[in-house]
Amino acid sequence: MNNLSEEVKQLIIETLDLEDIEPADIDDEDALFVDGLGLDSIDALELGVAIKKAYEVKIDNNSDDSKKHFYSVKTLCEFIAASRT
């Protein structure tokens, strides 16, 4: 899970061109959108495409479930791990 979390953070930084941010700067439990890391709705779409491509998981756009999955790095990792099994 820790490796996956590192991987996901790296993916977020690269996909969204986050300048001056290191994986260590992102807390596993912090909100990715709005208040936390400050990502916006375009980032959500972009990240969805990247996660889908990297982990071959299916994401329902705009469902309440996806909102929960995309809340933090931790929830994203749990979602990816669950979808893989």
Partner 1 sequence: MDFTIKQCVAWGGGLTTIQDWQSYAQGEISLSDAQELPPLKQIPAMQRRRLSPFAKLALHCALSAADECITTVPSVFASRHGDLIKTNKLINDVAAKEDLSPTLFGLSVHNAVGGLFSIYTGNKAPLTAISAGEDTFFTAIIDALCKLSANEYSQVLVVFTEILVPEIYKKYVAQDEVAIACALLLAPAGQGDEVYSLTLQANEDHQQIENKRMQVLDFLNFYYSNSKQVNVKSKRHSWQLNRAVS
> Which residues would be at the binding site for partner 1 (CB under 8 A)?
16-20, 38, 42-43, 45-46, 49, 52-53
Q: How many Å apart are CA 77 and CA 32, to the nearest integer?
A: 13
Nearer to partner 1, 43 or 55 (CB): 43
Nearer to partner 1, 1 or 49 (CB): 49
- H-run or E-run covering 80: helix 73-84
Nearer to partner 1, 52 or 67 (CB): 52
Crossing angle of helices 73-84 and 2-15, in 10° steps, is: 110
- We find the least distance from the C-beta atom of residue 1 to partner 1, in angstroms, to be 26
